[in-house]
Structure 1
Amino acid sequence: MTLPYQGIQKWIEDGFINKNGPFLDGQIQPASIDCTLGNRVYRVTSSFLPKPGEKIVDILKAKTLYDFELVSGSILEPNACYVIPLQESLKIPVGFQAFSNPKSSIGRVDVFVRLLTDGNPQFDTVPEMYEGGLFLEVIPLTFMVAAAPGIALNQIRFRKSNAFFCSNDELKTAHEMEGLVFDIAGQKIAKPIINDNALFLTADLKNREVVGFRAKHNAGEVINLTKKNFYDPEKFWDQIKKPADEELILVPGDFYLLGSNERISVPPDYSAEMASYNPQS
């Protein structure tokens, strides 16, 4: 079970989720909570994970090149690794774990973020009965970005430790009964790609004149992460026209946005999460 909005609200009331300051309108999502940046940035030598029992603040003392106050408009440079303490802290009760993922808007501007917690040698997970602060590793990969305290770059979901995951057969049955995967016209796909207990999506290279976008490496403007519907996309992206042979070669190191052939529907009794493509599947 993934904790819904009402459960997250109850956890806040019960002190399992705390924050240095008031929770914002819209911070609690239907099945997750947005985490917000604090007011200090640590530029570190490299990415790292703590050993069991090791505190993030102690590692920062050894790995920080310099630190600075995060104010509105603070610049984060491409391919530099930063660690930013978050305003939220957690006290995870018995029987639950937490999982972090980037906000979709952050992924679309190629900012790589991962959650760090004390004594936990895994990114993006918070173990059962963890009590302490949260830290975010932030690496802009393509664009120079401007950040500010209080903005959200990641979100956290809370899930029972013994959460149930659907098998291939159960996913096929759910698709037959409820409808999980649809084509671009909204028709249920007869035989969706189901493997390794997951639904697979494919890149659409034929149904639209512009099938995607490639990030420009020489964009001269800073992307301010506090602004929405503000920038001209052509300053940061090159359009990818529909290829005549319906094939596209991806250049290593370039960042792309591509649409999918499939449309997804999640029935009320289910929850779903996106996962990176596994080439061994």
Structure 2
Amino acid sequence: MNGDRTGVLPSQHLRRLISEGAIRAERPVSEAQIQPASLDLRLGRRAWRLRASFLPGAGLAGASAAAATVAARLPDFAMHEMDLTEGAVFERGCVYLCELAESLALPPDVSAAANAKSTSGRLDLFVRLIADGAAEFDRTPEGYAGPLFAEISPRSFSVLARSGARLNQIRLRRGDSRLTEAEAQALDPEGRGDARQGRAFSVDLRPAGSDVAGWRARRHTGLIDLEKTGGYAARDFWEPLPAESAGRLILDPGAFYILASRENLRTPPDCAAEMTPFSAGVGEFRVHYAGFFDPGFGCAEAGGEGARAVLEVRCHEIPFVLEHGQDMGRLVYERMLARPDKLYGAGGVGSHYQGQGLKLAKQFA
């Protein structure tokens, strides 16, 4: 890698780190796991039902490194151990901790950030990365060396998961990958406000050519096997939301919705992106679970002509009205360390959501 450059590590650099042992795995890492700007992580053999979520490094200032590991803290919170080799059910409303097949021994100038994969988010699976010593989820510091774990909490559907399932992913960075103001402005010349804050996008509640504005998860459904692509009828698990001329949707507290952005979005080959909330002041709903957008998403170079962002929305304590065209989030771009040797949606990359509109997870027909 070019030592004087900063940015998100592309696919070819991820392969190099794997070959050098900076990314390790109990089973060989497959090419299918290597995405243009991220690496899919696999569930390992063991999982534990927890009585509460926890962070191993929280509140342990001054404690030894050994005391702040997941293994040291797990006996305080684990209820029972589960073997994932033949599959196990993760029940809705419960919290689980899973060991991951991958571990890290990062170079001193490389850090990692994690996010749920798109399919996990669309199934309302709350998935977060935990590392030894962590005082926050989904982050490892520069030079982190140690195991990785995933906290998983199904919110709408109980799921059947097996060892090897890929529910979250990591993105590796060297230094500060944020774009300069000039770089950000060139990507979104008509953007609103500070271009470095990302491109704003809004919700589409009056979709052209469709009478369905979104989907709401049904309660008390059957089990979803994560390995069954196209194996379930959508309406057994989802209630379609009719598009109304007023372009208005009242969110129910505790309900989960799949909606789509009004705008077509693109991530150029030299950039990665992450979806972030539009404003912390809009506190009545959560906008997304899965936020990584790989280089090539929605781009002509990878066979796309723009693609909608799918919005995974959960309402909190009180009913809340969404209006057609209401701002929901921003797509914040980051500089790639180099252009990836494969792009999202291009040949050979398993990209289920290139050119998407309003689309449910791949498990639904």
Which ranges in structure 1 are unaligned for 5 or more consecutive residues?
A: 177-190
Partner secondary structure for residue 37 of structure 2: coil
Partner of 2:327: none
- Aligned sequence identity (%): 35
State the distance in 2 between where 1:212 and 1:122 align.
32
Give the one of 13, 29, 34 matched to 1:23: 29
Cα deviation, residue 278, structure 1: 2.6
Q: Deviations over 1:45-104 (max 9, x none)?
A: 111111263010111111111112113331010110100000100011121110100010
Q: Deviations over 1:163-199 (max 9, x none)?
A: 23344x64333223xxxxxxxxxxxxxx444557121
State the distance in 1 between where 2:20 and 2:237 align.
44
Partner of 1:32: 38
**Relative to total residues, which structure has the larger strand share, 1 or 2?**
2
1:103 aligned partner, one-letter code: K
Q: Structure 1 residues 47-56 or 96-105, which shifts more?
A: 47-56
Partner of 1:179: none
Which ranges in structure 2 are unaligned for 5 or more consecutive residues?
A: 1-6, 283-365
Partner of 1:230: 231
Partner of 2:81: 67
Contact 2:93 2:153 in 1 (8 A): yes
1:200 aligns with 2:213: no
**TM-score for both structures, normalised by structure 2:** 0.70
Q: Deviations over 1:195-241 (max 9, x none)?
A: 5712121110112311100000121x100111111110010000011
State the distance in 2 between where 1:109 and 1:227 align.
13
Partner of 2:145: 131
Q: Structure 1 residues 113-122 or 71-80, which shifts more?
A: 71-80
Q: Deviations over 1:86-142 (max 9, x none)?
A: 010001112111010001001000000000000110100111111000000000001
State the distance in 1 between where 2:127 and 2:179 align.
26
Cα deviation, residue 162, structure 1: 2.4
Partner of 2:273: 272
Partner secondary structure for residue 155 of structure 1: strand
Contact 2:100 2:150 in 1 (8 A): yes
**TM-score for both structures, normalised by structure 1:** 0.90
Residues 25 and 72 of structure 1, relative CA distance in 2, 3 Å threshold: farther
Equivalent residue runs for 1:173-192 within 5 Å: 173-176=186-189, 191-192=190-191
State the distance in 2 between where 1:76 and 1:149 align.
13
How many residues align structurally? 265
Contact 1:19 1:87 in 2 (8 A): yes
State the distance in 2 between where 1:72 and 1:227 align.
15
Equivalent residue runs for 1:139-218 within 5 Å: 139-167=153-181, 170-176=183-189, 191-195=190-194, 197-207=197-207, 208-218=210-220
Partner of 2:319: none
Contact 2:116 2:169 in 1 (8 A): yes
State the distance in 1 between where 2:280 and 2:240 align.
26
1:47 aligned partner, one-letter code: S
